[in-house]
Every structure is written in structure tokens, then in C-alpha cells.
């Protein structure tokens, strides 16, 4: 059972997330040769106040 975890900033619409989940599942099924029911996708939205890069929070940039 493949588990795909995606971490991103909030802001995408539910329809954008639906489209991503649909296409990511399709890609996993085609490349990993597995049934769609076995593909799990976790979308974790992390605020810019909790995400840092290069020693600075994204919210400070």
C-alpha cells in the first residue's frame, strides 16, 4: 500500500486538492502497478509561521 505524504502551505481550494489527489493516485496506479484502493494520500497544510527555510520563517520573508 503506497502512502504519499504532501506538505504544503494552506491556500489551495478543495477542488485543487481533489484534482491533485485524483492525478497522484492515477500516477501511482500506473507506475507502481497497484489498485487505486491501496493508494493513500495525506495532505498536510503547514502555515508559514511553522515553516522555516535558511534560518528564517517563511512568514518573515
Which of the residues are catalytic?
A: 2
CA pair distance 61, 55, nearest whole angstrom = 11
- Count other C-beta atoms under 10 Å from residue 38's C-beta: 13
Q: How far is 48 from 29, CA to CA, in rounded Å?
A: 32
Amino acid at each position: 500500500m503506497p502512502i504519499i505524504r504532501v506538505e504544503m502551505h494552506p491556500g489551495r481550494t478543495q477542488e485543487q486538492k481533489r484534482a491533485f489527489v485524483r492525478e497522484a493516485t492515477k500516477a501511482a496506479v500506473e507506475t507502481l502497478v497497484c489498485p487505486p484502493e491501496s493508494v493513500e494520500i495525506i495532505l498536510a497544510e503547514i502555515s508559514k509561521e511553522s515553516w522555516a527555510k535558511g534560518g528564517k520563517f517563511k512568514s518573515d520573508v
